[in-house]
Chains A and B, each alone.
Chain A
């Protein structure tokens, strides 16, 4: 069978699952008691195993299988999560990642995982408790018996908790159904069919209890049928038809349960429970349906099952970025034709044509918005791998630290997202390795044991800022200078007059490192110079601010290349320009007599002060416009930091969302222009760079 077409899908989905496994594991590490998270992890691992086995990646499947075994014990409360278990599981995840990586690069996905598998097996063997504390040995014993494959008769055992749920539902006027579903004998994927049934049911109500349990059904640990208690509002007949409509379902029996039967069941069950508790293993063989004591494991599963309903899968598809580019370009061509049509319609003066062209115009501007937004990706896709990385780093360095991420939803153009990952990894490693002190040092300095690294992303003006701030020891200016002088980067003379900022920039010089001892994380003098050049190649730059003893802030400023900004479109005679809305303070009109000449420059009153008035037409040598002969001039007040200036322009066109495009590699940097955008009529308009206009 040709698997190639599935391979890329497999790789994508595996990466997703690995990512979510990593995230959830970290979450679990924060709250090891939360069985709900374990359930999610288990499901991810289980899906991964299934996919790997289908694709024939045996090692991958084998490893996930062992992980599953451990997780299974955890979620059944037979194993408490402990540090070494976390470590082993994280190691397994790394091994899985390596294998998927190998597959991505065309390999077989083979790897020697025997040591990890052995470690996982040891956890399974060594940590199965013979009996839970509190004399619940019978309950512990009950679970393995229940999970045995041979279940003679379909039956559902309810515990008190579940009874009370059912009772309350009945009291609230919901229907309670006892459902038995059997699957056709020749069915190949029983678990999948059962899953479909559950999926269907969970959409129209709530499954209170099933036998065998959901997990066992998922593992195909059931014969041909399963039964469950179900709360719903729907009509039983309708439900039955819905279930039978699923393929390969042989029969579905739906029996409504009323409060009388329920109390009966409860009474019986109580009696039974007291009898059978000492030897709960036999409960599986009890003939009477719908009753008996519940095992401890079932109680644990209940809240988790409820949680599963809440988590709706996100509905996305993956698209090759090149296709988006093609779409974008095709769309621009469409716009040109639209404008031509508009012109034709006006010439022909056909009412109907004009109307349909207008409608087309509205549709295409909606389309334009969507196409533009398609390229934007939340920086979350870069950030989401950092928590794990920082955790591992901190652990290997024996430090304690929190990574606080804010602004992960900040959107950046896809091309920038693809490139920015590595530089950020370097900076983060640098902060963890060099910034944050060891625990002892922190205590000595009177700081909390746990260091904090803040990772922030936000839009500001035409730029996206990504900041990495630690509360570590800060940068020691003298140490850097000493090292720089020793390496001959600067002379002693020079060093005296250098500003702090200049000194910090030395960190980014090639071959420069101040780490006293070389760690395998950072400190070999490679890294920061690479970071700088990478960011520079993206058109951005890095700045450093630091306070000795209090911490360091690395701020990466990236241009919004290819991204979308809101801009004010203006006219200068026949030419159109876009001014980024983010730097506009306000717009207005001034009369000629309000303009004052002071020392050869023009000033206009603005609020309580005077601000310079700049002639945009003169600055850009506009061929067919000058505001000099106008009595009243439209102005745009722009801002750079706390400085303001007014630009005299011809007229306003309106506000627009525009895509920033660069002017092409050939053109040198043009002062006052930050890029170009393509207007609705297919023409290019230049985007002003207000920062360059205010000196």
Chain B
């Protein structure tokens, strides 16, 4: 028996991405973000989520994609990994799908400009939908961020 998982689907550019629903705390509309100076450009700042201060990162920026203006489709997906809670700014989030874990294939080297290490795999949904599963631990890996920063310097 293949394991069934529920996945939150969100969009970045033309691609659709998936995050295991267990990792997602809530999905919020765009809200005022307080800028935090002297940090990476993709960290947009912090928000107040029901009394908890949570850092928000622009996933486009994190994946070195071109950042766009936020509109009323823009969502903040609050994910929790370990003790970390982080908000992801994404273009849209409007679907939940059931997946067989078996249907997730290992990712090709580069998907939509996103490095393979940030990805868990690619899942096929229905006939012509490809869902890119995010490897949250890598996306939130700060050591890697620091390394990135050094390269840029």
Residues of A whose CB lies within 8 Å of any CB of B are 328-333, 336, 575, 619-623, 661-668, 670-673, 676, 678, 682-686
Q: Tell me if B150 is interfacial: C-beta within 8 Å of chain A.
A: no
Residues on A with C-beta less than 8 A from B83 are: 665
Q: How far is the CA of A516 from the CA of B47 in the complex (A)?
A: 55
Residues of B whose CB lies within 8 Å of any CB of A are 32, 34-39, 43, 45-48, 50-55, 57, 83-86, 140, 142, 146
Residues on B with C-beta less than 8 A from A676 are: 34, 46, 53
Q: How far is the CA of A205 from the CA of B40 in the complex (A)?
A: 72
Q: A663-B46, A683-B48, A686-B34 are in contact. Are A668 and B53 (CB under 8 A)?
A: no
Q: What would 18 A/B residue contacts be, using CB atoms closer than 8 Å?
A: A332-B51, A333-B51, A575-B35, A619-B37, A620-B37, A620-B38, A661-B52, A662-B53, A667-B46, A668-B146, A670-B39, A671-B38, A672-B38, A673-B36, A683-B32, A684-B46, A684-B47, A686-B36
Q: How far is the CA of A331 from the CA of B83 in the complex (A)?
A: 23
Given A328-B51, A667-B46, 6 further pairs, Cβ under 8 A: A331-B51, A332-B48, A663-B46, A667-B36, A672-B37, A676-B46
Q: How far is the CA of A622 from the CA of B32 in the complex (A)?
A: 17
B37 near A666 (CB under 8 angstroms)?
no
Q: How far is the CA of A540 from the CA of B134 in the complex (A)?
A: 35
B36 near A666 (CB under 8 angstroms)?
no
A666 near B84 (CB under 8 angstroms)?
yes
Q: How far is the CA of A332 from the CA of B37 in the complex (A)?
A: 24
Q: How far is the CA of A328 from the CA of B48 in the complex (A)?
A: 13
| Nearest CB of A to B26, in Å | 13
Q: How far is the CA of A667 from the CA of B43 in the complex (A)?
A: 8
Residues on A with C-beta less than 8 A from B51 are: 328-333, 678
Q: How far is the CA of A329 from the CA of B54 in the complex (A)?
A: 13
Q: How far is the CA of A332 from the CA of B54 in the complex (A)?
A: 14
| Nearest CB of A to B108, in Å | 28
Q: How far is the CA of A620 from the CA of B36 in the complex (A)?
A: 8
Q: How far is the CA of A501 from the CA of B47 in the complex (A)?
A: 41
Residues on A with C-beta less than 8 A from B45 are: 684
A664 near B37 (CB under 8 angstroms)?
no
A664 near B84 (CB under 8 angstroms)?
yes
| Nearest CB of B to A338, in Å | 14
A333 near B50 (CB under 8 angstroms)?
yes
A664 near B50 (CB under 8 angstroms)?
no
Q: A575-B34, A676-B34, A684-B34 are in contact. Are A667 and B48 (CB under 8 A)?
A: no
Residues on B with C-beta less than 8 A from A667 are: 36, 39, 43, 46, 55
Q: How far is the CA of A102 from the CA of B125 in the complex (A)?
A: 54
Q: How far is the CA of A686 from the CA of B52 in the complex (A)?
A: 13
Nearest-neighbor residue (CB-CB) of A662 within chain B:
B53
A663 near B32 (CB under 8 angstroms)?
no
Residues on B with C-beta less than 8 A from A662 are: 53
Residues on B with C-beta less than 8 A from A332 are: 48, 50-51
| Nearest CB of B to A539, in Å | 14
B48 near A682 (CB under 8 angstroms)?
yes
| Nearest CB of A to B76, in Å | 13
Q: How far is the CA of A670 from the CA of B37 in the complex (A)?
A: 8
Residue from A673, A683, A684 in contact with B37 in the complex, judged by beta carbons closer than 8 Å: A673
B54 near A668 (CB under 8 angstroms)?
no
Q: How far is the CA of A682 from the CA of B52 in the complex (A)?
A: 11
Q: How far is the CA of A666 from the CA of B34 in the complex (A)?
A: 16
Residues on A with C-beta less than 8 A from B54 are: 664
Nearest-neighbor residue (CB-CB) of B86 within chain A:
A666
| Nearest CB of A to B30, in Å | 14
Q: How far is the CA of A671 from the CA of B43 in the complex (A)?
A: 15
Residues on B with C-beta less than 8 A from A665 are: 83-85
Q: How far is the CA of A665 from the CA of B146 in the complex (A)?
A: 15
